[in-house]
Structure 1
Amino acid sequence: MRKITQVLNVPFDAVTMKEAVVMVKLLLETGGQHFICTPNPEIVMEAQKDKELMSVLREADMVVPDGIGVVWASKYSSIRLKERVAGYDLTQNLFAELAKTEKTFYFFGGAPGVATEAARRMQRKYPGLKIVGVHNGYFDAKEEKLIIRDIKKLSPSILLVGLGAPKQEKWIYDNMRLLGAKVSIGVGGSFDVMAGNVKRAPKPFQKFGLEWFYRLLTQPTRWRRMMRLPIFAFTVLKTRKRR
């Protein structure tokens, strides 16, 4: 049974990384199609004004905190989140767990060539990893139908969708029943990291939940997006005072 906490009305599963991997493996053995979301504080704030996104997050089969700010905010709830479960790290753990099994993956998203390079590198990193298909994230309505048909034909165990939030969450929700994948996960810009185009923050930044600060240092143009973080914290504290 899921143990859920709420952060600004967005439900999060109170799981560790190991528990999240186990949960995905259980979903793979369960009938039907399932989807997983990995919101950070920016997405939580976006959901406050985007009712469609909020609805999608509330219907997901698992929602994990891809941001230390969400873990911090949960301390004001009756159930606290155990740790950050970043989408990128979740996929890496799934690759390691499933590489020697018959489970398959499909990479969908990123600029032309990125998903292909990401797949090549991940198969080299995790011998035995089965990636049955890739497609970039640039498409029109006609191409979209072909992509859906391709995914359904290949019927991957896990579909990784990197279209950026909230587009990827809405796309998965709208098309999940047509895709044939057992589990679909929104992974944001993970393919760029897998392909070596973007570097993750050094381990000390990751350990202390300062990846956002590292991204700001290395990509100053992100400062407008980063302004959502203090707004998120202020909103959490303001909501707490109302209780």
Structure 2
Amino acid sequence: MFIRMESIKIFDIKIDLISSKEINEEILNLCRKNKKEVIANVNINAMNISFENKKMKSFLNNAYINFIDGDGVNLGAKLLGLKTGPKVTYDWWIWELAEFCQRNKLSWYILGAKEESVSIAFERLNKAFPDLEIKGYHNGYFNKLNNGNEKVVDEINRLKPNILLMAMGMPAQEEWLLANMDKLNINVALTGGAVVDYISGEFKSTPDIFRKLKLEWFYRFLQRPKYLLRRYFIGNPLFIYRILVEKFQSKKEKPSVEKVLESI
């Protein structure tokens, strides 16, 4: 039986208020019924890309589940007077999911990241979850417009994994699925961004103190300052600005400085 999910909309994008355990059960249901769906992670970066990228927005609105991957989405919901939901981030959920899939005999294929990182991730998963069937993996650095892409698709279809774990980053992984999902013989595609780098240990999981302070983003920034500088220190304020504009436009009011400050 499928779970009836509660959802909200931000910037006309569906966001599901769903926990990690509920996502796990939905994945199992989809695999048992031999369905084919996308389960996507939504964070501030995804929202900002979708605001300007129609393909990304369409991808998310056609996904079976869009789960909350970051405190920023919940902050946006709160500012708009919407319900907030559970936060599910890959740095801890991937281990829970691996144990769940091992127990329920659901197979994986991993696609993305650098060759060294994905091979180390494969080895670490095999060691931690010896009965988890990882049917194969491939790095994310291949030509996606010629026979290199066909070879990857053919390999996935030959191996027939239940779950395709994508780790190409946004919006590359979403664009690849838009172009190839119809060709794939899988049950569930998961967009995971940097998930492989967390599994391999290249990126460290966020310490509890940063989680409690809702500063996971800052801990990630400390690990990759050059890569994340623009995303966090321009992207995060831009998201909040857009949220406040939407809030006041919906009330048909022009936002004054005082009203904006009162809403923060």
TM range (shorter): over 0.9
Q: Contact 1:5–1:78 at 8 Å: present in 2 too?
A: no
Is the aligned partner of 1:6 residue 2:9?
yes
What's the CA shift for 1:128?
Answer: 1.1
Moved more, 211-220 or 227-236: 211-220
Is the aligned partner of 1:108 residue 2:114?
no
Tell me the equivalent position of 1:192.
197
Gaps of 5+ in 1: none
2:130 paired residue among 127, 130, 141? 127
Secondary structure of the equivalent of 1:134? Answer: strand
2:65 paired residue among 62, 66, 74? 62
Look at both structures and tell me which one has the larger radius of gyration over its CA atoms.
2
Tell me the equivalent position of 2:219.
214
Q: Contact 2:31–2:187 at 8 Å: present in 1 too?
A: yes
2:48 paired residue among 45, 64, 70? 45
Aligned length: 243
Tell me the equivalent position of 1:231.
238
What's the CA shift for 1:87?
Answer: 3.5
TM-score (norm 1): 0.94
Secondary structure of the equivalent of 1:139? Answer: coil
What's the CA shift for 1:22?
Answer: 1.6
Opposite residue 83 of structure 2, the aligned amino acid is R
Secondary structure of the equivalent of 1:99? Answer: helix
Q: 1:173 to 1:215 in 2, by over 3 A?
A: same
Secondary structure of the equivalent of 1:37? Answer: strand
Tell me the equivalent position of 1:24.
27
1:96 paired residue among 96, 99, 103? 99
Q: Contact 1:88–1:187 at 8 Å: present in 2 too?
A: no
What's the CA shift for 1:217?
Answer: 2.8
Q: Contact 1:162–1:191 at 8 Å: present in 2 too?
A: yes
Tell me the equivalent position of 2:152.
147
Tell me the equivalent position of 1:73.
76
Gaps of 5+ in 2: 251-264
Determine what percentage of the aligned residue pairs are the same residue.
27
Opposite residue 95 of structure 2, the aligned amino acid is Q
Q: 1:181 to 1:117 in 2, by over 3 A?
A: same
Q: 1:207 to 1:129 in 2, by over 3 A?
A: farther
Secondary structure of the equivalent of 1:38? Answer: strand
**1:241, 1:114 → 2: CA distance?**
45
What's the CA shift for 1:101?
Answer: 3.1
Moved over 3 A (4+): 76-79, 87-90
What's the CA shift for 1:30?
Answer: 2.7
